[in-house]
Copies of this chain bind each other. A is one copy, B any other.
């Protein structure tokens, strides 16, 4: 006789480290505290007016299913954008519209791996990859990267020993969430070469593709490895166009059989939302390049603001992100989650406090991230500075009230 218990995978799926403390933040707000949210990659940049107008001008009388692959208009516009900016010669055939990059990643995990199969990832990693691994029964194998080495990728000969008979894919997020590291062309080519030699898929999460700084050029991996069947690119409108809530992502692959299998999974869930797809197509058809250029300079300035503000706080070690809009910072505390909780429950400064994500959940080897937080520089420069200043004041107060929780400097 069965008892009414849950599946192992249900019990294994971790809560999101990004959203774990969201309830405490909500309570702080309800107490009247203003909370600066550096915990989540929810930019405050305005979504393109072309998108909002696309929504407002919706004129359907029946909100019908879209095709399982995505709307024709959106596929046409998205492929055109990729060909214009990256000249990768893509057609809609190689694309599948998904409900955010999240769904594209889940599909990729499922078509590459059976339960028990392995995917190599660089650790620390985007926390939700662990959720997708639990959902799909896939094992993530961490390749260690370190703050001291600016989270650069290990060299090929350091990676290869981690490949086992169960390895099916290598997953890299470029530019990286949570580290801000941007892969060099040589590193990408090394991964492509390795996947060819070892018969692996290479999943490249390019959600933050355009956000690279200090004169770097945005890079789609298909520029380096045209039409390469080993590669699956995960793309998303969420961050690029400040459209996180639209839940529109995309999977790109030239591997026919893989695309067909992903399409069958996509059919089972029917379709991505119609109205957001229509508005997104409307947007991509009309948006000016300036929108992205402005966003890139703005994030670059916010990065500088964040780094400068962090440099003012004693005992904090942070890496300078080369791209994306996150960074990891090690604090002089024993347990960053306790500190983040303190910020939301015990501390405020003139009615303000700062919400950061404890980074342990971004490390496969949790203990390595125990003293670290992830900061998303998604607020305007002034708010970013102010939020980090409050973080510094909070740290000072924490060391007074909870000295046993702090590292001596």
Contacts and interface: CB of A to CB of B under 8 A. Distances in A.
A47 interface: yes
B14 A264 contact: yes
A268 interface: yes
A217 interface: no
B62 A268 contact: no
A200 interface: yes
A67 to B, nearest CB: 7
Contacts of A40: 65
Nearest to A101: B270
Nearest to A102: B269
Interface in A115-145: 115, 117, 128, 131-132, 134-135, 137
A64 B45 CA distance: 10
Interface in A49-84: 51-52, 55-58, 60-68
A350 interface: no
Nearest to A237: B63
Nearest to A67: B22
Contact of A6 (B47, B257, B275): B257
B201 A168 contact: no
B7 A168 contact: yes
Interface size, A (range): 35 or more
A345 interface: no
A34 interface: no
Interface string A75-102: 0000000000000000000000001101
A112 interface: yes
A6 B8 CA distance: 25
B115 A268 contact: no
A46 interface: yes
A269 to B, nearest CB: 4
Interface string A236-248: 0000001111110
A11 interface: yes
A42 interface: yes
B115 A137 contact: yes
A10 B55 contact: no
A332 interface: no
A165 interface: yes
A3 interface: yes
A390 interface: no
Contact of A137 (B111, B137, B198, B247): B137
B15 A100 contact: no
Nearest to A113: B7
A84 to B, nearest CB: 24
15 contacts: A2-B198, A3-B199, A4-B199, A8-B114, A15-B267, A42-B65, A44-B62, A47-B63, A63-B246, A65-B244, A99-B273, A135-B268, A245-B274, A247-B270, A275-B275
Interface of A: 1-4, 6-11, 13-16, 19, 22, 40, 42-47, 51-52, 55-58, 60-68, 99-100, 102-103, 106, 110-115, 117, 128, 131-132, 134-135, 137, 165, 167-168, 198-201, 229-230, 242-247, 255, 257-258, 261-265, 267-276, 279
> Which 10 pairs show the lowest CB-CB distances between chains A and B?
A131-B268, A245-B274, A10-B261, A16-B267, A10-B111, A2-B199, A102-B269, A63-B245, A13-B264, A247-B273
